[in-house]
Chain A
Amino acid sequence: MIVFDQLKKNDPYLRALTLAVLLGIGILVAGLWWVQIISYRHYTENQKSQSFRTVRIPAIRGKILDRQGVAIAENRPSYNVSLYLDELREEFRAEYARSRQPQWVTNSLPFWKRWLGFNPVKKQYPKQTIPQRRALEAQVRYRVASNIVQQVSTILQQPVPFTFGDFMKHYTNQLALPLPVLVNLDQQQIARLLEGSANPPGIDLEIQPTRYYPGTNLAAHVLGYLVRDNRSLEGEVADFNFRLPDYRGHVGIEGEFDAELRGKAGVKSVLVNSLGYRQSENVWMAAEPGKNVVLTIDAAIQQAAEGALQSAMAGSVRGAAVVMDPHTGDVLALASSPSFDPNLFIPRITTEEWRRLSDEKLKPQINRAMQEKYAPGSIFKVVTGLAALEIPGFDPEQKIYNPGFIRVPGRNKPIDDLAPAGDYDFHKAFIKSSNTYFITNGMKAGIESIIRLGQRLHLGERTGLLSSQETGGDLPKLAEVRRGWIAPDTAYICIGQGRLSVTPLQMAVMISSIANGGKVLWPRLVQRIEPADPNSGETIIEFPTKPPRNNLGVSERTLITTREAMLADVEEGGTGKAALVAGMKIGGKTGTAQITNPRGQIVGHTTWFASCAPFENPRWVVVVMVEEGASGGGTCAPVAAKIYRAIQKLEMEGRSAVALNTP
């Protein structure tokens, strides 16, 4: 071979030279081996990290559907105009050339250069330092982009703020992504942009799914709202260079079922060149759309309930209405007023709106159906009544004289009875809501049996419906009533005042148990979670009706007596007569709880109407609560009547009568 031939020759110089060259080539090959084979992974990583940018693509959020399949939270396409800076590089270059005109300078040349024919007049670019050049380049880029934004603004007939600061922020931090110019175009603007034959370069119309609540305020407290949050969920890829705007559910179903609704974010990789401009894109992992959550809510009933609640009083109503299926515990409507529009949180709530939603008195964010506790007032007489009716040998026909007040041992001032003076049996006492009758018989039954009933109703405990939005209320414990408990304390509990507080949802569970024969149910709000694509073969997660949480443990006779009394309260001119609805037998009980300040003065009323219908076989439980209403019968019973009428109409005329707003 040619190499070894040289080594064998008898020429020490050439042999040395051959060895030297051989050594040099050996070093090179070894070096190449080290760099290309041994360190291959290292340099490939380097190459990828400098030329790829990963972008997190949020998944399309799942819908929230009512029990009929009507979407009450969905996604609508939002049209955004974006500017692709990488397509403007030619423009940048041209503008830079325009901004830096060469000058003609005349140099004084030495004679021999002149003699050699050098031209003393020379084209020369003005000298600039590197920082000057960078500043000029930045200015040039901004000018080009700003011009295009201006043109877009003219086409869309809408001013678009575009400052140098905005531009530089995007340029330095997010060059690989398009620059958002204007988001949320309206139909006309989309049309103008699409028909424009001469759109400026680099401009593109992008469609982005955006959360949309077609019913605006509808079931806002149940749905909750979204907040801007681009972070990765646990178990997702976490190291992205860029993240596209994403949202996280805050309270409500959006919050509670965020993990399911959110889906799984995808990954897009953008190949960038040495200047950071986008070169090409490639979706590494497609986003998996979120799952749909199907509620027990009936949007039509919810809408009716909200509308009825609004009409309870003039001005802002602070109250709640719950509609429940007494056999299953399905919540058909859960209204709270004042409400808010969760659309306001997309893309971001304004400070002013947020201030409005944080009003100290109105507290629009509070879900009054379950997040706030109230004295039940006279609707608790239902429980007192149950306790009394269960006294062995108790005769509901037996009359008690009501002088218009009742004296309770241990309390100097008598407790007023708003029912007119006279003789009262159970039936009359219930429909007139006599304090005297219920305190007398309640004390006869004893506080412990009332507390036990309360415990079986799980008062003072949460139902677990939306954990972040629920309070359990207060019910004295048996240990408390056994020590240091005095007669007036019992008297107050008997009429739903004192150391007792409940939520409208708990009252709906209570009335359901009367209506369904004593079963204390778990309320249910979510029926199932379905995959976004029904054909995907993914499993549907069902939340079946749970077995009853407890049983009232009272006789059928007691329940019938109570139901009859409730019916009479509405139909026989009782306190709830305003709830009368033609063609539907409604049984109910009104309540007007006094709210006292620490000095014992009455500062307001919490008014209630708790009811079920139809009497023969109750299918709906409606509980209405209004803060600072006039009275349960005057303020809340008409609201319930409206809800029942709407249900009646739905039953008779079908769903088309009550259609949701669609976008």
Chain B
Amino acid sequence: MISFPVNEHRQPKVDWLMIIAILGLMIVGTLFVYSATMANESAALAPWYNQAWVRQIFWYIIGGVAMATLCLVDYRILARWSLIAYVITILCLIAVPIIGVDRFGARRWIDLGVLQFQPSEFAKLSFILAMGNFLSRPLDELKLMRVFWKAIGMIALPFLLIMKEPDLGSALILLPVGLTMLFVAGVPPRYINTLVGASGILVALILIDVLFAPPQWQLKLEDYQKRRLLTYFGIDGASANSTLAQKAEARRTQRNYSYNVDQALISVGSGGLMGKGWREGTQNALGYLPRAVAHNDFIFSVIAEEKGFMGSVTVVALYSVLLFTGIRIAGQARDRLGKLLAVGVVAMLFSHVFINIGMNIRLMPVTGVPLPLLSYGGSSVLCSLIAAGILQNVYIHRRS
């Protein structure tokens, strides 16, 4: 069941502007994954096919193929299968704590033998498809409380499962994506206001609980999650009646944990206007920016250090092109399903970009959210390109 777009008005088949932005990001990604990893001698000595930048290119190609393949199938057909995708994803997420493998203290990966993948990345995509499919029902139905609660349930289920992994960042991304889709779908604003208000109060309560409540009252967060939050809010976690030594120890620990952010800030800040030049950044080469994160979660600080404010603004501009073409596609969509899917993808990409770059300049707490297309990592690259594929799909089948 393959339907080809009808090209009556000699309009371009695909959104070339977006493709150019994506290619630009891919070039930047390759260059800086190279810069971030080649500073490490042992990494530089690895065989070429095992080097991070080659793998990144490989994933770009796979992602590109996936994106193209996706465009062959009308999104309306895809949406029909979305519920199944959603269920499979949920099953994967349930399976992660049982058969998943640990990396860096969190269990987020499923090992397929040849490769490992992060179900939470794909969960975002299947969530967008399923949510879009669910919300594309007639407008009247959306006013029903029952439908609204179902939608909330669709958000909450993957949210809680991903939160449990723990992957606070990926889980939190579901909230703006879900809320944006509800908003654009036309769910009565009072529902959304209530929802936003309620979740705001909930987040505030959780924060107050985690940060200030006596230990026996606190939510059972993972140690590192709590520390990240404490770090972001600059609290050293020592109670008022602890001894001086304990306080000093708490401060020291806090400094240790705020290390990544501090170093990222120094990297970004010391880049200045023009940067130190490609592969000239010292923060990464000398290991101040931890090698484990320099090429993935903190790739932006490598770019910012080596290419300065001009480089960072270029990256932000490339993302802006991607996002605004996405919004334009939403406006040109042939139906509400297409619009919702486009809006969901835009919300997801924007949340990633904002949280990740914000984390590099201390606007946001540190959560393991990758920078789409730039951060090293197969799951993230693949998901970002599939997401772009959904946008292109909506564009190809747009209103004529």
Contacts and interface: CB of A to CB of B under 8 A. Distances in A.
Interface string B157-194: 00000000000000000000000100110100000000
Nearest to A2: B324
Contact of A36 (B17, B269, B346, B363): B269
Given A36-B312, A46-B269, 9 more contacts: A6-B327, A28-B357, A31-B357, A32-B304, A35-B265, A36-B309, A40-B270, A47-B288, A279-B286
B331 interface: yes
B68 interface: no
A11 B328 CA distance: 11
Interface string A1-27: 011011001010110111001001101
B210 interface: no
B337 interface: no
Nearest to B272: A40
A633 to B, nearest CB: 78
B324 A43 contact: no
A173 interface: no
Nearest to A116: B99
Interface in B280-338: 282-283, 286-288, 304, 308-309, 312-313, 316, 319-321, 323-325, 327-328, 330-331
Given A44-B272, A51-B286, A28 B328 contact: no
B273 interface: yes
A272 B288 CA distance: 10
A43 B266 contact: yes
B95 to A, nearest CB: 11
A35 B309 CA distance: 9
A33 interface: yes
B100 interface: no
A11 B343 CA distance: 13
A35 B327 contact: no
Contact of A18 (B273, B324, B361): B324
Contact of A113 (B99, B271, B324): B99
Contact of B269 (A6, A17, A35): A35
A546 B312 CA distance: 72
Contact of B343 (A17, A31, A43, A274): A17
B354 A28 contact: yes
B282 A51 contact: yes
Nearest to A43: B269
B313 A29 contact: yes
A47 B354 contact: no
A86 to B, nearest CB: 12
A37 B358 CA distance: 16
A388 to B, nearest CB: 84
B84 to A, nearest CB: 23
Contacts of B130: none
A36 B273 CA distance: 7
Nearest to A31: B361
Nearest to B184: A13
A40 B316 contact: no
A279 B285 CA distance: 10
Interface residues on A, range: 35 or more
A250 B183 CA distance: 84
B324 A6 contact: yes
Nearest to B349: A21
B266 A47 contact: yes
Interface residues on B, range: 35 or more
The 6 A-B residue pairs with the shortest CB-CB distance, nearest first, are A43-B269, A274-B287, A273-B286, A36-B309, A47-B270, A13-B184
Interface string B251-283: 000000000000001111111110000000011
Interface of A: 2-3, 5-6, 9, 11, 13-14, 16-18, 21, 24-25, 27-29, 31-37, 39-40, 42-44, 46-47, 50-51, 113, 116, 271-275, 279
A32 B288 contact: no
Given A2-B324, A14-B331, A32 B286 contact: no
B34 interface: no
B350 to A, nearest CB: 5
Contacts of A9: 331
B270 A43 contact: yes
Interface centre among B270, B308, B357 (most CB of A within 10 A): B270
A113 B95 CA distance: 12
22 contacts: A6-B331, A11-B331, A13-B183, A13-B184, A13-B343, A14-B343, A18-B327, A27-B358, A28-B353, A28-B357, A31-B357, A31-B361, A31-B363, A32-B312, A33-B309, A35-B269, A36-B271, A39-B269, A46-B266, A46-B269, A51-B286, A116-B99
Contact of A21 (B271, B283, B324): B324
B361 to A, nearest CB: 5
A25 B269 contact: no
B191 to A, nearest CB: 15
B327 A17 contact: yes
Contacts of A2: 17, 321, 324-325, 328
B272 A36 contact: yes
Interface of B is mostly: helix
Given A6-B331, A14-B330, A51-B286, A32 B268 contact: yes
B319 to A, nearest CB: 8
Contacts of A11: 331
Contacts of B330: 14, 17
Contacts of B324: 2-3, 6, 18, 21
Nearest to A33: B309
Interface in B17-48: 17
A43 B323 contact: no
A16 B282 CA distance: 42
A34 B183 CA distance: 33
A24 B357 CA distance: 11
Contacts of A42: 269
A6 B346 CA distance: 14
B184 A14 contact: yes
Contact of B268 (A3, A21, A36, A116): A36
Contacts of A113: 99
B286 A272 contact: yes
B255 to A, nearest CB: 13
Contact of B328 (A5, A24, A25): A5
A618 B350 CA distance: 101
A556 to B, nearest CB: 82
Given A14-B330, A28-B358, A51-B282, A44 B309 contact: no
B231 to A, nearest CB: 17
A274 B363 CA distance: 25
A39 to B, nearest CB: 5
B26 to A, nearest CB: 20
A274 B184 contact: no
A25 B361 contact: no
Contacts of A37: 272-273, 309
Contacts of B286: 51, 271-274, 279
A2 B321 CA distance: 8
Contacts of A24: 350, 354
B316 A28 contact: yes
Given A32-B361, A51-B282, A25 B320 contact: yes
Contacts of B99: 113, 116
Given A2-B321, A21-B324, A43 B265 contact: yes
Contacts of B327: 6, 14, 17-18, 21
Interface centre among A3, A17, A29 (most CB of B within 10 A): A17
Contact of B350 (A21, A35, A39): A21
Contacts of B319: 25
Nearest to B326: A21
A34 B357 CA distance: 14
A8 to B, nearest CB: 10
Contacts of A271: 282, 286
B152 to A, nearest CB: 19
A40 B305 CA distance: 11
B288 A51 contact: yes
Nearest to B269: A43
Contacts of A16: 183
Contacts of B270: 40, 43-44, 46-47
